[in-house]
Amino acid sequence: MVELPRAPSFRLDGRALITGGSRGLGLACAAALGQQGAHVVVAARGGDALEAAVSALRQDGHSAEGLRLDVTDRSAVEAAVGAQQPFDILINNAGTNRPGPFVEASAEDFDAVFDLNVRAAFHVAQCVVRGLLAAGRPGSIIHMSSQMGHVGAVNRSIYCASKHAIEGLTKAMAVELAPAGIRVNSICPTFVETPLTTGYFEDAAFKSAVLSKIKLGRLGTVEDVMGAAVYLASDASALVTGTSLRVDGGWTAE
């Protein structure tokens, strides 16, 4: 009799930290991980959105708590993450964009994007990894990158630069942390329909240009990214590290 192999489990029993988790992709990832059993800690600057997100997760049967945190505040991150039990999973999702012509970009625009997209992501990951190393535990670090971490685009010079930086960080962390059993990967979505992007698509010409690049012919949804998050967080991706999972509808295929 042939003994068939068993597929790895997508079950998540550990603790997960999701930054920028009160809405959009962050909240979707929190829900996805919660649905697989993880205890999700949703980090955001606070306000009604954070309370509403945690309430919705709990009402859906998930184990969840909120963490009021400005991830650009280095000392606050160190205090908040250091006070927690180690996180088995991190989804570094907090991010921003200031699109505009390259020649018109200001120093303030550059600093705002890099402070959140790169500097804060680096430091949050550093604090989470320190906790894992101190506890002698493996883990999964997931950076929310973008297809723009692999290509260039008009009016997105700062954003593209920040996401290319995240791709380099992902690879370097993966190589360095592999001996400790800590995997590091990125998710690279295409344009996803969220409350934050709705305004962009009111411009018919812009929407048409975007759809012309997405080979599957549609914008992304948060549900498209949820499966990628669960996969990279779970044992189903046990041999995957230093990888960029492009959820881009084929944008970067040519």
pLDDT in tens, the chain (254 residues): 899 999 999 999 999 999 999 999 999 999 999 999 999 999 999 789 999 999 999 999 999 999 999 999 999 999 999 888 999 999 999 999 999 999 999 999 999 999 999 999 999 999 999 999 999 999 999 999 999 999 999 999 999 999 999 999 999 999 999 999 999 999 999 999 887 788 888 899 999 999 999 999 999 999 999 999 999 999 999 999 999 999 999 999 98
Handedness of CA 65, 26, 109, 167 (dihedral sign): positive
- 213 catalytic residue (yes or no): no
How far apart are the C-alpha atoms of 152 and 177, rounded to whole Å? Answer: 29
> What letter represents residue 137's amino acid?
R
Domains in the chain, ordered, with CATH? 15-240 (3.40.50.720)
Catalytic pick among 159, 171, 207, 215: 159
E strand map for the chain:
15-19, 39-44, 64-68, 89-92, 139-144, 182-189, 244-247
- 163 catalytic residue (yes or no): yes
How far apart are the C-alpha atoms of 248 and 190, rounded to whole Å? Answer: 4
In the chain, what is the straight-line distance between the N-terminal and C-terminal CA atoms, in Å? 46
Neighbours of 2 (CB within 10 A): 3
Q: Kindly report whether the global pTM for this prediction surpasses the value 0.85.
A: yes
Q: Among all chains, which residue has been given the structure tokens 């992304």?
A: 220
